[in-house]
């Protein structure tokens, strides 16, 4: 989940100037310059004051990702493999949570050995006293709503439409016939388009409506959202472009993806939606999508 995948801007083949660092580097710089210890709010303020319009949700997520004793860090792509964090050979292992909303630089001699481990097929965070009990897979701000209904937190109308489209894609996908695969591809692509527009709506509702951003096509929606520092991984761009092409082929040329490729497309879209919704809206779509629709993913 690295922001600013290119370190330099280029024009006519000439390197002009260095671009700003990745967000995790901004976070590390903030804590180091704040005396090795800081609250989440202090980190956010430092980053915004120095680097300008960096997405606040992205900063918060990078803090979680880089905090060795935060149990929710395993939900992010950077932390999807077991490792010994005390070796300090991974760029995401440099923070330690010392209280609610406060971190300091991780020192294995002081804080002990922390690791991401796999147990019974699940990734967990482990420390000197054992496994850290996982928190709710939604961010704390939504925890009180989850006990009643996870849908209560989906207040963004475009986000709800995106998740509905994803569920429709899954329903068609589970049926498996060629006509169902066609419907699944159309809804997959629609889910991605609407979740991008949901983020644009969240960032600036007035501009979204005044500038008619709801009419952006798929490619321009990605370009627009990246102007605000919202992370779309390079791997995701490649895969989602393939899904978009498959959707166009199915809808406009009658060329429907087979039973080998469609599951792959469905997996790509679901993984993207899960990461994007968790990072940008604090919502885990696993809590919204029925388990019978997630079979095979």
Q: Are 227 and 285 in contact (CB under 8 A)?
A: no
Q: What is the pLDDT of residue 26?
A: 93
What's the structural domain count of the chain? 2
How many CB atoms within 10 Å of residue 240?
A: 23
Estimate to the nearest angstrom the gap between the alpha carbon of 175 and the chain centroid: 28
Q: How far is residue 235's CA from residue 45's CA, in Å, rounded to a whole number?
A: 30
Q: What is the pLDDT of residue 154?
A: 67
Task: For residue 130, count CB atoms less than 10 angstroms from its CB and return exposed for 0-12, middle for 13-18, buried for 19 or more.
Answer: exposed
171 belongs to a structural domain: yes
Q: What is the pLDDT of residue 96?
A: 96
Q: What is the pLDDT of residue 109?
A: 95
Q: How far is residue 208's CA from residue 197's CA, in Å, rounded to a whole number?
A: 9
Report which of 177, 196, 194, 173 is spatially closest to residue 185, judged by C-alpha positions: 173
Residues 22 and 78 in one domain: yes
Q: What is the pLDDT of residue 17?
A: 42
Residues 81 and 195 in one domain: no
Q: What is the pLDDT of residue 169?
A: 93
Q: What is the pLDDT of residue 295?
A: 76
Residues 73 and 161 in one domain: no
For 219-236, write each residue's pLDDT tens digit. 788 888 888 888 888 899
Q: Which of 75, 103, 135 is the last residue of a domain?
A: 135
Q: Which of 110, 135, 160 is the last residue of a domain?
A: 135
218 belongs to a structural domain: yes
Q: What is the pLDDT of residue 168?
A: 94
Range of the domain at 110: 8-135
Instruction: Tell me the residue length of the chain.
Output: 297
Residues 17 and 119 in one domain: yes
Residues 45 and 22 in one domain: yes
Q: How far is residue 283's CA from residue 163's CA, in Å, rounded to a whole number?
A: 11
Residues 61 and 156 in one domain: no
All residue ranges of the chain with pLDDT < 70 are 1-19, 134-154
Q: What is the pLDDT of residue 233?
A: 87
Residues 121 and 168 in one domain: no
142 belongs to a structural domain: no
Q: What is the pLDDT of residue 134?
A: 66
Estimate to the nearest angstrom the gap between the alpha carbon of 173 and the chain centroid: 23
Q: Are 117 and 124 in contact (CB under 8 A)?
A: yes
């Amino acid at each position: 989940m690295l922001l600013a995948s290119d370190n330099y801007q280029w024009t006519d083949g000439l390197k002009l100037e260095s671009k700003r660092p990745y967000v995790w580097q901004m976070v590390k710089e903030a804590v180091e310059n704040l005396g090795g210890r800081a609250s989440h709010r202090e980190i956010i303020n430092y980053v915004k004051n120095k680097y300008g319009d960096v997405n606040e949700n992205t900063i918060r997520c990078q803090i979680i990702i880089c905090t060795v004793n935060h149990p929710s860090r395993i939900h992010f792509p950077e932390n999807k493999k077991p490792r010994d964090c005390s070796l300090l050979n991974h760029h995401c292992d440099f923070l330690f949570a010392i209280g609610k909303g406060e971190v300091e630089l991780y020192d294995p001699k002081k804080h002990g050995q922390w690791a991401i481990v796999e147990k019974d097929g699940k990734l967990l965070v482990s420390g000197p006293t054992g496994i850290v009990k996982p928190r709710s897979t939604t961010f704390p701000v939504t925890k009180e709503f989850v006990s009643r209904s996870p849908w209560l937190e989906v207040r963004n109308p475009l986000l709800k439409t995106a998740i509905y489209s994803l569920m429709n894609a899954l329903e068609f996908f589970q049926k498996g016939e060629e006509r169902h695969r066609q419907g699944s591809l159309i809804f997959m692509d629609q889910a991605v388009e609407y979740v991008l527009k949901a983020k644009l709506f969240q960032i600036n509702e007035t501009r979204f409506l005044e500038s008619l951003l709801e009419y952006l096509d798929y490619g321009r929606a990605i370009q627009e959202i990246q102007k605000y520092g919202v992370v779309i991984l390079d791997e995701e761009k490649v895969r989602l472009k393939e899904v978009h092409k498959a959707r166009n082929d199915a809808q406009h040329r009658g060329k429907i993806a087979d039973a080998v490729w469609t599951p792959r497309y469905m997996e790509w879209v679901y993984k993207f939606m899960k990461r994007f919704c968790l990072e940008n809206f604090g919502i885990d779509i696993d809590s919204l999508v029925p388990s019978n629709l997630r079979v095979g993913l």
